[in-house]
Amino acid sequence: MTTLTRQDLNFGQVVADILCEFLEVAIHLILYVREVYPSGIFQKRKKYNVPVQMSCHPELNQYIQDTLHCVKPLIEKNDAEKVVVVIMDKEHHPVERFVFEISQPPLLSISSDTLLSHVEQLLRAFILKISVCDAVLNNNPPGCSFTVLVHTRDAATRNMEKVQVIKDFPWIVADEQEVHMQEPRLIPLKTMTSDIVKMQLYVEERAQKT
């Protein structure tokens, strides 16, 4: 049995792979549950042994993939503090934010084969929480769009400028308008602590949505 520590090169990659895979599923599901796009473009799939919804619109899928592709190097280096899916109203003011707060667990190791199935269980819980989150959230106004923000740790931004993962798909600094939300209310959804990642998901919701 091999024990990998954080210093091993592919450790970060493993974590990033797992997380990005999860994030892709989560983003699709959020878009479905929060009705950002008509439900017609979604198909039912199975992931983490639970049913999930996935968009079948190629451009949207490509966009999400590209985005996560750019997020991955950040997660690898533990530079991403939060990945945020922001749902905005027509005026591009955020109404809801799904915040995935990612940090490293106190003890980092990939020790055994059971780990991955354990992580899968935890992620499944996230997915299930997301699929029922409309119960605790107010309805969004019509005509919403979404965007993905990343809160980086320290000076990671500077490195990101240098390395463009996908050509002509660079990071830009978010507008204040997109970041600032009036009277945000916080609704914690799920927290997980595993050997490879510690993550919590909460939703920030604007008090007055319309």
Partner 1 sequence: MSRDGWAKKRANARGDNGWGGYMAAKVSKLDEEFKLDASRERQKEGLCSNIFSGVSIYVNGYTEPNADELRRLMMLHGGQFHVYYSRSKTTHIIANNLPNSKIQELKGEKVIRPEWITDSVKAGCLLPYLQYQLYAKHKGPLFPGMTVRQTSEIAGPSHGPLQLSVHQKLHLPQCSVHHSKINEIPPKLSDPSPILLEHSGTQRANEQRPKPLLPTYQEAIKATENQLHPKQLQPSLQADSWPEKTLPSSASRSLSHSPIRLNGSHHNAFSSNPASVNSTNKTTKPGPSTDESTSSSKSSAQLLAQTGDLISEYYTHSRFHQISTWRTGFSEYVNELHSKRKAAGGASFPGKERLRKSMALCSSDCTSASVSIKSCVLHVDMDCFFVSVGIRFRPDLKGKPVAVTSNRGQVRVPTRPGANPQLEQQYYQRKLTHTQQSEISPDSHNNGVDEDAAALSMAEIASCSYEARQAGVKNGMFFGKAKQLCPSLQSVPYDFEAYKEVALSMYEILAGFTHDIEALSCDEVLIDGSTLLAELGTHPEDLAKAIRADIKDKTGCCASVGMGSNILLARLATRKAKPDGQYFLKSEEVDDFIRDLPVTSLPGVGPVMGRKLSAMGVRSCGDLQQVSLSHLQKKFGPRTGQTLFRFCRGLDDRPVRYEKQRKSVSAEMNYNIRFTRIDEAECFLTNLSMEVQRRLQEAGVRGRRVTLKVMVRKVGAPMEPAKYGGHGICDHIARTVMLAQYTDSGQLIATAVLKLFHAMNLQVQDLRGVGIQIQLLEGNHSASHDPTGHRTRSIKEMLLGQQPSARSQSRDKSPHHEKTFSTAGSPSGSSPHLQSPAEPVPGTSKDHPTCSRTPKHSRARLDLSIEVPSPSQVDRSVLEALPAELREQVEQSWINRDGKQNSQRSPRTLVLQIPNHPDSPGIVLELPNFSQVDPDVFAALPRELQEELKSAYNRIATVQPQSKMCKSSGGLVKNPLMQLKQSGAGIGIGRVKRRYKRKNAVSPVKKGPSPTKRRQTTNHPANILPLVTSRELINAVKNENGPSTSSSNKDIPESLSNFIPRPAPSLAGACDLTDIKTLLREWVTTITDPMEEDILQVVKYCTDLIEDKDLEKLDLIIKYMKRLMQQSVESVWSMAFDFILDNVQVVVQQTYGSTLKVT
Q: Closer CB to partner 1, residue 40 or residue 46?
A: 40
The least CB distance from residue 55 to partner 1, in Å, is 8
Residues sharing a CB contact under 8 Å with residue 55, sequence separation 6 or more, in sequence order: 28, 31, 32, 37, 41, 42, 43, 61, 64
The least CB distance from residue 94 to partner 1, in Å, is 11
Q: Closer CB to partner 1, residue 1 or residue 173?
A: 173
Q: Closer CB to partner 1, residue 52 or residue 99?
A: 99
**Given the rule CB under 8 A, which residues bind partner 1?**
5-7, 37, 41, 55, 57, 59-60, 63, 66-67, 70, 78, 82, 84, 86, 88, 92, 101, 103-104, 106-107, 136, 145-152, 154-158, 160-161, 168-174, 178-181, 183-191, 198, 200, 202, 204-205
Rounded CA-CA distance 4/198 in Å is: 17
Q: Closer CB to partner 1, residue 52 or residue 199?
A: 199
Q: Is 118 helix (H, G, I), strand (E, B) or coil?
A: helix
Q: Closer CB to partner 1, residue 48 or residue 126?
A: 126
The least CB distance from residue 181 to partner 1, in Å, is 7
Residues sharing a CB contact under 8 Å with residue 58, sequence separation 6 or more, in sequence order: none
The least CB distance from residue 26 to partner 1, in Å, is 16
Question: Distance from first CA to last CA of the chain, Å, rounded?
Answer: 56
Amino acid at 141: P
For 154, what's the count of Cα atoms within 13 Å in the CB-facing half-sphere? 6
Which is nearest to 68 in space by CA: 48, 53, 85, 47?
85
